[in-house]
Amino acid sequence: MILSHERKYEPMPSPTKVAVVTGGGGAFGSAIAARLSSDGFKVAVTDANPTRAAEAAALIPGAFACTLDVTDDKSVGEAMAWIAERTGRIDTVVNNAGVAPPGGMRTTELEDFDRTLSINLRGAYLVTSAAMEWLAHSGSEGRVIMIGSRTWLSGGNPAYTASKAGIVGLCRTVAQEIAATGGTCNVVAPGPVNTGFVDGMGMGETRESNFERYAAQTPLQRVATPADVAAATSFFAGQDSSFITGEVLHVAGGLQLAPRL
Ligand SMILES: NC(=O)c1ccc[n+]([C@@H]2O[C@H](COP(=O)([O-])OP(=O)(O)OC[C@H]3O[C@@H](n4cnc5c(N)ncnc54)[C@H](O)[C@@H]3O)[C@@H](O)[C@H]2O)c1
């Protein structure tokens, strides 16, 4: 018989499911966090930039901010432990933090290549592996969602496309492992979205004229919005997708397709 005073103390799990969003202070991250909050999640809005995280969390009901640099394993471990201690559970992880450098095969700086892989791919690995134990406790509620890019199919900057192709491989491995406890892992792969993210890519023309051109090249004749990306993420975080795992869902209006001949 176990006497009550002999029981090991464990934090009382929150009755509300908890989602962790990386890069949560950015355009997609804040839209995803707001959408998951309206779906009923308590959301940890994490970002390497504490001000961005705090400003985004302040606008989302029930959300809280947390500083988390996905390139730093110590930061990842401490942030995950702090979130789990505060809430008693982690049910969904959205690996959204990402950067895109300028350049092609002959012009990408090696430093940019390494930094991009470190944030976009290695970061998703660090965050997901740190959360696996908590996700396992969630059983069939455990969800990992990777924000990829349609460039994994179409090509683009070498570091960026390699990182986003790598995300698909990582997702398929996570999907195999997390299935043991009933959870899922999937990739949301958007087309170009008019956010500050694209400013680092050195697009040449003005941002507006670039996006007009992207919209004209897209079969559905517009570019994606953060709300489109948040809706797809919500689908993978919810019950309607519980038998879908290891998949890539393009949110690109058909831009991932080959041009019609
Ligand atoms: N905007 C697009 O056109 C587009 C298209 C397809 C995919 N994506 C992907 O969507 C994701 C988000 O893009 P966005 O448009 O919201 O970009 P954004 O620049 O608005 O937001 C990115 C956020 O990531 C944070 N961040 C950067 N380095 C970090 C680190 N080391 N650790 C934690 N956080 C860090 C930034 O502070 C920022 O808040 C990225 O993974 C990107 O590759 C964007």
Residue 4 has pLDDT above 60, yes or no: no
The predicted model gives 230-250 an average pLDDT of: 98
Structure confidence at residue 200 (pLDDT): 66
For the beta sheet containing 184-190, the strands, ordered from the edge strand earlier in sequence to the opposite edge, are: 64-67, 42-47, 18-21, 92-95, 143-147, 184-190, 248-251
Ligand 1 contacts (CB < 6 A) are 22-23, 25-29, 47-49, 52, 68-71, 96-100, 119, 147, 149, 190, 192-193, 195-198
Q: Tokens for 42? A: 């308590």
User: How far away, in angstroms, is 98 Cα from ligand 1 center?
Assistant: 4
Q: How do the domains of the chain map onto residue ranges?
A: 15-251
Residue nearest to atom 7 of ligand 1 (CA): 149
* pLDDT tens profile 72-118: 999 999 999 999 999 999 999 999 999 999 999 999 999 999 999 99
Structure tokens at 257: 């397709």
% of residues, the chain, pLDDT over 70: 93
Ligand 1 atom, smallest distance to 163 CA: 43
Buried b vs exposed e over 74-103: b needs ≥16 C-beta within 10 Å?
A: ebbeebbeebbeebbbbbbbbbbbbbbbbb
Question: Given pLDDT bands bounded at 50, 70 and 90, which one contains residue 129?
Answer: very high
Q: Give me ligand 1 centre to Cα 63, in Å.
A: 19
Residue 14 CA, ligand 1 centroid: distance in Å = 29
The ligand 1 atom at the shortest distance from the C-alpha of residue 120 is 41
Q: If you take atom 37 of ligand 1, which residue's CA is the nearest one? A: 49
Q: Which atom of ligand 1 is nearest to the CA of 164?
A: 43
Q: What is the mean pLDDT of the chain?
A: 93
Q: How many residues in total does the chain contain?
A: 261
| Overall average pLDDT of the 168-194 stretch | 97
DSSP one-letter string for 9-60: P-PPPPSS-EEEETTTTSHHHHHHHHHHHHTT-EEEEEESSHHHHHHHHHTS
What CATH number labels 15-251?
A: 3.40.50.720
Distance 195 CA to ligand 1 centre (A): 9
Closest C-alpha to 144, from 170, 163, 121: 170
